[in-house]
Structure 1
Amino acid sequence: MRYRPANPITFQRGGRHPGALARWKEARMATKKEIMRQLLKGVSWNEAARALRCSKATVAKCAAKMAEEQIGPERLESMTDAEVSGLFADGRGKRGEEYLEPDYARVCDQLARVPKMTLALQWARYCDCNPGGKRLYGYSGFCRRVGEHARAHDLVARIAHEPGRTMLVDWAGLTASVFDPVTGKRSPAYLFVASFPWSAWVHAECFPDMRSRSWISAHVHAFQAAGGVPDILVPDNCATATDRRRKSEPIKVNDAYLEMAEHYGCAVVPARVRRPRDKAAAEKAVDLCETWVLAPLAEERFTSFDELNAEVRRLVDALNARPFSRREGCRDDAFFGEERAALNPLPAEPFELYEWRRCKVSPDYHVQCDHMRYSVPHRLVGRTVDVRLGAASVAILDGGETVAEHGRLRGRRGQYSTDPAHMPPEHLEAQSLWTRGWFERRAGEIGPETRRLIAAVLDAHPVEAQGYVPCSNILSLSGRGRAAELEAACARVNEMGGTATYTRVKNTMAAARSEAAARPAAPTVQVVDRAAHAGRVRGAEYYRRRRGDADAQ
């Protein structure tokens, strides 16, 4: 079976490179020109052959050609290498005109564009199409000429990077693993890679997903690790960076990514679709991280992302400290020595990705988000406002204007954050349409236990008005003739103690109804008229009527 090389485009017969062959031909022409020069000086054939390390036959050919063409010193010096080569042409070059030349451009285009296309298939097509009956190149000659054409026409423009100008970002194709310490379930960890192309300095970090929040957080951490911000960010056309849905549509940076870039004062310039050379430094950085970071972690077992990222930082620091192979120093030397000084300064506060909600202001001038309540100016009661939720802050906007700001509440549900400036004056004085007296009076109409529970709900809030909505919700459970059920449920909640809430009272009422439905019904007592069975004319019904008539008189 004939040997086929793994990469036939670079396979050469005899191991000689085409460039070496060309240099050898040039050296031959230079040697013949030097032989002629020595012969014109009167050097013998033997001395010229020994001095120039060639055969006497070659010297004889040069002497014969000089005599035939009448070449003198002036003409020899004025001749080029091509002219000297023409003097000794043996006709072998004409044989090349007999060969059928392949369509090299088409071959290279199909190799790059058509999946699973190979040089062997292209050579078979070349052999099948020979209408002129010319000679055909063999497989090795075909591969050599295609390779020469590819090297000559696959030109690449070098991108001149400036220090601190750009940061290239991308996700690695390979993933790491994080295992649940209890169940042992594996979760993928996606590696974000940021590279500064001038110094080739790399930052990498693992995240549980590739969604927008992780994408934004990765950029923020990269800026903090670099100690500055570049002028331009160059991502690819991933969904977290652009909103482009079709090839015909223009590229549009999505709102969250653009907001983050504006916060840091940099521009976003996505690379062209299917043009990886636009961000070749990022592709190289990803390849290095997959080799020097992800590959060593393949057999490791991590139970948290903090543990995994600590090891990733160690391996990335080692990568940045490795010496360059083709220039002095390392990535750390180039970045911290020069490029970091060219970065723009970080803003005072890091960027924070917010969640947006639409909420209606309740009668107690609060909005509810994630089971927590935040106050707004009382004039906005009944309006629908925008709520911006951050990791540590909550802002409420009406018509694009911020009307209230609060710290983000965490922990127990149902907490309140109330600004006294948002309260109406009558609430500051505990006087309003909804007052403690109004709720206690209405609860007293239902029963004493309900009144006691309502008082406990109002006392549980630091601002009494905060308990108005829960009290209204609890009292609404008395509708549809269920006042007695509400009284019984309030009695049970009061007896058990703890925090009284609408949900707890409602669940207690539902449990009482379920218990009543499951309880067996009392047996009915059947009255037996023994007088009728004994044959008497007047039975028990007669005497019952007589007793009723007597009572009426």
Structure 2
Amino acid sequence: MIRYQRILELQDEGISLRGISASTGNSRQKVTEVLEIAQKKGLACPLEEEMTDQWIEEFLFPEKTLEGSGRHPLKFDYIHRELAKPNVTISLLHHEYEAECRASQRIPYSYRSFLRHYSKYADKHKATLRIRRKPGEIMEVDWAGSTASIVDRDTGEKIKAYIFVATLPCSQISYAEATLSMNLYSWITAHNRAYAYFGGATQIVVPDNLKTSVTKHTNQDLVLNQTYREMADHYSTVVMPARVRSPKDKPSVEGAVGVISTWIIAALRNEHCFSIDELNEEVWKKLEEFNRRPFTRKEGCRLSAFEEEEKFALSPLPPTPYKMSQWKTAKVRPDYHISIESMFYSVPYEYINKQVEVKLSDDFAEIFFNHMRVASHKRLYGKFGQLSTVRDHMPDNHKLYVDQTPDAAIEWAKDIGPATLNVIQYILDTSPAEKQALQSIFSLKKSERNYTKYEIERACKMITSMTERPTVKNTQTILKNNKKNDAEQELKRKTEISENNYGFTRGASYYGGKDK
């Protein structure tokens, strides 16, 4: 048998490979292999009493103990690595192992022995056992049954603080956070921080059947809270709530809740915090201690198990955390606006009297009809009754009215001509009220429906030549008269052309005869 103990001790004393090989009688190649694997697995001097040569051989080369049985050896590192992949199970790997044995004409281990040997290997050499849970697959979340508290600085009253707990079942690492409420905002915020703490997202989230996560959960129907569903979509994860009154569907977080109640909540019973931020600082200190506590039956801790065995399997986080949003319903009023929290937002007028859904975030109010976004506004804050109106949402006649401003009137007049600009400028300058002037100009602008720009400009030129005080009414009268005169002249011209249109008359001489 190879003298593993002696090889490690001589290497610790600084003896060269040549010297170790000469002292132990093993080849330098074998000594190098032993030292490399020992370094890789973290085995170094001083050695404990139980670490005999046989123990070290089983630790460094577990497959050797199986080769003596005459059966095809198991590749434990390969099995452990493959079990981390999605949808790969121990039964699939055993089936592939049997096929490999048949091809090489070796005796395979039965499924039960295969499972027993892998479990023994994982318990001794690995932080996680991947038969039950795959790394990065599930995050279980819940509220702790016990509560913490903060102290009101003014009254000395104790205020309840609720503890959110998230656990990854594979490595058993947990995250905890104190909040002053168990409402939707606290629930979503705690999820954001949990994902940030773990540095990635899992494939599945398993919550309890709280109102903040599940609207309806029966054997036939599952309706998630819309905000919670959006958060899951943002992190590319799937929400699979535990069945009603079935705590075994999320045993890891149920167990973590009990442990955290002892090691965090109870441990802070004598601390006096005056704000939720102070309390969370203490909670996170205790959480760090909790995740670093050594396992009782194997090497490592929750944090080391997570970093070595699970962190690699988490999905990368999006560039920004999920921003909280709320969903409300509203009916579009006759003035094509909806009322949300005493603020008014416009919707295309085609949706008047329709029921719409409104997504409210910190920055925006988005309006949906049949799951299609039809309007988006910047969120209004402050004084009640504010309006956010988009011009494109208005009917055409409303657009014309809203567009009535002095600047818009002058721009319109410039587009018509200099005479029109003079008339408009005079009306704006001499009217006792701006609104009255704009109403007059609006009536003149409507003339574009029946008259060309040339006709309007000609009428304004005529009115300014007749009087120094032109009015819209006089201008409209001239437009009508000009139109009538133009129509009469056109009729007269056509009549004259018709009366003088005799054509050509050919005489008898044209046909070879004689005129009489």
Larger radius of gyration: 1
What is the TM-score of this pair, normalised by structure 1? 0.44
Query: TM-score with structure 2 length normalisation?
Result: 0.47
